[in-house]
Amino acid sequence: MARILIIDDSPSQLYGMQKIVEKLGHETILTEDGKEGIQIAREQLPDLILMDVVMPDLNGFQATRKISKDERTAHIPVIIVTTKKLETDRVWGLRQGAKEYLVKPVTEKALKEVLENHLPG
């Protein structure tokens, strides 16, 4: 069982992803804020992060960059999960350090594949 940090400012999206991740047998840590997500990542070192992009204060691109550049958290795969579906957004997200880029609404199948591809064993 892995610990997955989900960062999304939409309570309904947070709940939906939480239900899928827990159904797949993993533990979840939840936050609706990019800054808090960075802090949680540093303190709890989750196995993987699911990151929204459109959030107030600190957006998901900025949070992904901070997590992927910090030596304490750089090993944690960040998967962007967003409504931003332009190719330029996808390229930018990957350039910030994300390992994958999923467009909402995300399916259970897509989340399962991402988790299988980026979690150890």
CATH code: domain of residue 79: 3.40.50.2300
Report the number of distinct structural domains present in the chain: 1
> How high is the mean pLDDT in each 10-residue block of the chain (121 residues)?
97 96 97 97 98 96 98 98 97 98 96 94 68
Farthest-apart Cα atoms in the chain, separation = 36
pTM, whole model, 2 decimals?
0.97
- What's the confidence (pLDDT) of residue 120? 79
Using alpha carbons only, give the angle 57, 103, 15 rounded to the nearest 5 degrees.
Answer: 65
What's the start-to-end Cα distance of the chain, in Å? 10
Q: Which domain holds residue 84?
A: 3-118
